């Protein structure tokens, strides 16, 4: 039988769904281009960790003990990590759920919501997984208005349809680095129809100044249909471990529990995150380093008359007067991996993760001569 599987009813609805394209791994660039010195500034990882304490805890598990060798299943619901997260976030344990990365929780909530169809409102230029999770679960995407320089809470509210089940908001948003002012956050939380689940993805929230960041977790008691997501992949520097968490009402968590795969987070990830979530000093240090890297980047970008948008996250979004894919390819040849943004309908933007000073020097050494005529 030679028939294409794209016409098989089991799969045909998937053909039009975009594939997620991750940042290029270092090993792939080594393999493809034969380069040895490579700097990766493509996936918004934190170069300053993980800490020695996290590594020691993981090493202890690998060495094995009566209760936690690699041969044993992990605690399925991650009780001990959830307990630590609950303490840190001052919520009860039954309001915390874990995912294999926060991406998995984005998928869980979509799987729960779109069992019988429906739509999700997603601002333009949002993290790709919101749309992919919606569509692969059988939902329809309604794109609300947003640009590289503006997020619009009122347009999110206006875009809601009768069959809308979820609204996703990246806060701050990847790749634009934008977030809403507190008043707009409140409008959204309080005016959105009560039967719609508001999913606020706070993957980069820890990079914000805690004094003026409108953390939507503060509305959890007000809105039972609110899901606030965090990840250990960014400021906690555990991207390889694949672990994230969601905060919500006890009832909402109960529904997500029904679509969660048993043992969805592994034991090494759980213990690493247990140590990481308690380490406020490392978070503060990483935020400070990120602020310094952003300030230094702005100075260099100014020399080349390059425009940056947004201020959030551990990355910058830079506009180019020419297709950014060209710059991406030139940089790749020079051993610097960044992220072109065509897939986000931003063909003249590249996103650059803020790395260590030596990594940023490598970026400007490669990019500087290419941008001599301006961005």
Ligand X SMILES: Cc1ncc(COP(=O)(O)O)c(C=O)c1O
Q: Does 202 bind ligand X (CB under 6 A)?
A: no
What three-state secondary structure class fits 142?
strand
Q: Does 203 bind ligand X (CB under 6 A)?
A: yes
Whole-number minimum distance, CB 7 to ligand X, in Å? Answer: 32
Pairing mode, if any, of strands 140-144 and 119-123?
A: parallel
8 Å CB contact between 179 and 212 = no
CA gap 41, 213 in Å, rounded: 25
CA gap 231, 205 in Å, rounded: 10
Residue 39 bridge partners (DSSP): 336
CA gap 230, 224 in Å, rounded: 18
Whole-number minimum distance, CB 129 to ligand X, in Å? Answer: 6
In the list 102, 159, 264, 286, the residue contacting ligand X (rule: CB under 6 A) is 102
Q: Which residue is nearest to ligand X (CB)?
A: 101
Q: How many chain residues are in contact with ligand X, going by CB under 6 A?
A: 13
Under DSSP, the state recorded for 170 is E
- Please state, in angstroms and as integers, the Cα–Cα distance from residue 260 to each residue in 15, 255, 299, 305, following that order: 25, 9, 46, 48
In the list 74, 123, 214, 244, the residue contacting ligand X (rule: CB under 6 A) is 244
Taking residues 114 to 153 in sequence order and writing x for each that binds ligand X by CB under 6 A, - otherwise, the string is -------------x--------------------------
Nearer to ligand X, 204 or 328 (CB): 204
- Residue indicated by tokens 């992990």: 74
Phi and psi dihedrals of 253, rounded to 5? -60, -35
Name 27's Cβ contacts closer than 8 Å, sequence gap at least 6. none
Q: Does 233 bind ligand X (CB under 6 A)?
A: yes
Q: Does 216 bind ligand X (CB under 6 A)?
A: no
Tokens, residue 333: 């040849």
In the list 119, 164, 225, 231, the residue contacting ligand X (rule: CB under 6 A) is 231
Whole-number minimum distance, CB 304 to ligand X, in Å? Answer: 26
In the list 101, 131, 177, 355, the residue contacting ligand X (rule: CB under 6 A) is 101
Taking residues 160 to 179 in sequence order and writing x for each that binds ligand X by CB under 6 A, - otherwise, the string is ----------x---x-----
CA gap 242, 199 in Å, rounded: 20
Name 112's Cβ contacts closer than 8 Å, sequence gap at least 6. 255, 256, 258, 259
In the list 41, 47, 77, 103, the residue contacting ligand X (rule: CB under 6 A) is 103
Q: Is the dihedral of CA 304, 309, 313, 316 positive or negative?
A: negative
Nearer to ligand X, 103 or 249 (CB): 103
Whole-number minimum distance, CB 142 to ligand X, in Å? Answer: 19
Q: Does 159 bind ligand X (CB under 6 A)?
A: no
In the list 201, 206, 274, 279, the residue contacting ligand X (rule: CB under 6 A) is 201
Nearer to ligand X, 44 or 309 (CB): 44
Nearest to 207 by CA among 167, 179, 227: 179
Which residues lie near ligand X (CB under 6 A)? Answer: 44, 101-103, 127, 170, 174, 201, 203, 231, 233, 239, 244
């Amino acid at each position: 039988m030679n028939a294409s599987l794209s016409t098989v009813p089991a799969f045909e609805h998937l053909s039009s769904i975009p594939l997620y394209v991750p940042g290029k791994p270092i090993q792939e660039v080594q393999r493809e281009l034969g380069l040895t010195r490579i700097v990766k500034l493509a996936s918004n990882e934190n170069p300053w960790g993980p800490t020695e304490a996290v590594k020691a805890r993981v090493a202890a598990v690998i060495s094995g003990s009566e209760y936690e060798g690699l041969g044993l299943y992990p605690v399925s619901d991650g009780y001990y990590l959830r307990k630590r997260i609950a303490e840190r976030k001052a919520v009860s344990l039954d309001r915390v759920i874990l995912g294999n990365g926060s991406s998995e929780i984005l998928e869980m909530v979509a799987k729960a919501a779109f069992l019988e169809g429906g739509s999700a409102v997603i601002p333009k230029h949002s993290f790709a997984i919101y749309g992919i999770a919606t569509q692969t679960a059988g939902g329809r995407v309604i794109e609300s208005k947003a640009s590289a320089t503006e997020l619009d809470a009122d347009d999110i509210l206006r875009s809601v349809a009768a069959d809308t089940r979820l609204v996703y908001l990246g806060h701050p948003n990847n790749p634009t680095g934008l977030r809403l002012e507190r008043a707009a956050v409140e409008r959204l939380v309080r005016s959105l129809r009560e039967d719609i689940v508001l999913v606020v993805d706070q993957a980069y929230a820890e990079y914000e100044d805690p004094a003026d960041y409108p953390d939507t977790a503060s509305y959890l008691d007000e809105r039972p249909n609110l899901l606030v997501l965090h990840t250990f992949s960014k400021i906690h520097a555990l991207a390889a471990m694949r672990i994230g968490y969601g905060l919500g009402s006890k009832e909402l968590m109960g529904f997500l529990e029904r679509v969660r795969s048993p043992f969805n987070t592994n034991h090494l990830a759980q213990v690493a995150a247990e140590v990481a979530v308690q380490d406020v000093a490392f978070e503060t240090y990483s935020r400070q380093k990120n602020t310094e890297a952003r300030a230094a980047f702005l100075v260099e970008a100014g020399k080349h008359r390059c425009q940056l948008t947004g201020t959030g996250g551990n990355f910058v979004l830079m506009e180019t007067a020419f297709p950014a894919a060209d710059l991406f390819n030139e940089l790749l040849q020079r051993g610097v991996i960044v992220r072109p943004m065509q897939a986000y309908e931003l063909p003249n933007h590249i996103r650059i993760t803020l790395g260590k000073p030596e990594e940023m020097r490598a970026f400007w050494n490669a990019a500087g001569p290419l941008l001599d005529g301006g961005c």
